[in-house]
Structure 1
């Protein structure tokens, strides 16, 4: 079954007319279509006008339109124009500044820019994946890469840091980093993370200095909690671009 998605920041709230248009368009396709408000952790069937209105979508909300079915490709093309009217779809490198501005405004001590998101070109062992994640971190924030890698591997030996099927979150408080930072790898091929929950496709690295004040640790706690939310993780697993994955992770940090 084909799957297509459009992830976007809403320019304005979803109006009754827009919801009615989406519901009517959804009825023209055989694919299953749903709209999720990721900021508010709500989802609705696109064919139901009433359900769409309960999303209470507001300006600035991060949303995802997910299309699954045999005619998903055609539906995706049709819904692109509708999404552009609602907000700013995330699919080009120039749209990454929207998520980065949100992070800089609300959590200026955290570093997670689009270049810190990448793809794995082939299956890798866990140690290699962790090394690639560290390489994605800004050089100015890492004091000692080998030491950071050793600490992450030691943490993995305690227990595999898979947080939900398909998603791993290796993390460490370390003197090897100067400020909180994140990196992310996406792999189309499953990566064995040594867990009974199975392989993963998305690996999010969380690093923060030791002795970090509790207030500065809260975003990491929020992200860990967010990655256990079915709506947000479903959106992350179906995201098709680095820009969408980047924005979804930042949403988890902030909400």
Structure 2
């Protein structure tokens, strides 16, 4: 069964006290399994338990998700989303596009320390590793992608860029960019990345200028280190909404998680 998510940012930790009981009562009305996940603190609690919000340990600045799996999971998220929006900042509210800079404007609190160009595509067919790398390069450099494709291939020849089961992070320094560019291809069909870790479902291309600034290096380092945490990797793989996916990546580049 598919997992449905509500991704939200805690801007007032005191709101937890007002939300705990109503959320617990509503969660018990659904047949689906509901959890609250504090991505920042690496905490998980079952929403039907009265101490769920307490166990999740929500603090100001935390990025969290409520997840639902079951026959009425989509309905559960639809109902609970309004409750969450009364107390916290729901990431996907009022946004109907895919990756863009507008999310950074609306949620400056989850922004990385430097400007980033965002690109996203969802694959609806089987892709080889080369086809995926070509797609990532075309997202970043649609007019002249050949040099970037070659840079990705040369990097893969040194070693596979699969960093954790299910996720690849092809990364290069490239003269054709002034800012960090992130391009993501999500694919429900597995992609063979020639890695002992197995196949890939999420390819995240990280392209940096040849002479990166200190802030750009920090953002890239935060991302690579956070991808090695089980919680962040799992959330990225399971999150279906492209807007929520961008929020998770922005957050992962803005700070080191626990």
How far apart are the structure 2 equivalents of 1:159 and 1:103? 35
Residue-by-residue CA offset, 1:148-202 (whole Å, 9 max, x unaligned): 2111101111211111111111101233333221111111221221112222111
Mapping for residues 74-113 of structure 1, pairs under 5 Å: 74-86=75-87, 87-90=89-92, 92-93=95-96, 97-100=102-105, 101-102=107-108, 106-108=112-114, 110-113=115-118
Shift of the alpha carbon at 1:66?
0.7
Unaligned runs of 5+ in 2: none
TM-score with structure 2 setting the length: 0.84
How far apart are the structure 1 equivalents of 2:97 and 2:123? 22
Q: 1:145·1:176 contact (CA, 8 Å) conserved in 2?
A: no
Quote the residue 1:212 is aligned against.
212
Quote the residue 2:122 is aligned against.
119
How far apart are the structure 2 equivalents of 1:39 and 1:104? 12
Unaligned runs of 5+ in 1: none
Quote the residue 1:131 is aligned against.
134
How far apart are the structure 1 equivalents of 2:222 and 2:61? 19
More helix by share: 1
Greater Cα offset, 158-167 or 79-88: 79-88
Residue-by-residue CA offset, 1:94-126 (whole Å, 9 max, x unaligned): 696344553896523x3233xx11211211111
How far apart are the structure 2 equivalents of 1:104 and 1:79? 23
Shift of the alpha carbon at 1:51?
4.1
Q: Secondary structure at the match of 2:117?
A: coil
May I ask how many residue pairs the two structures share in their alignment? 249
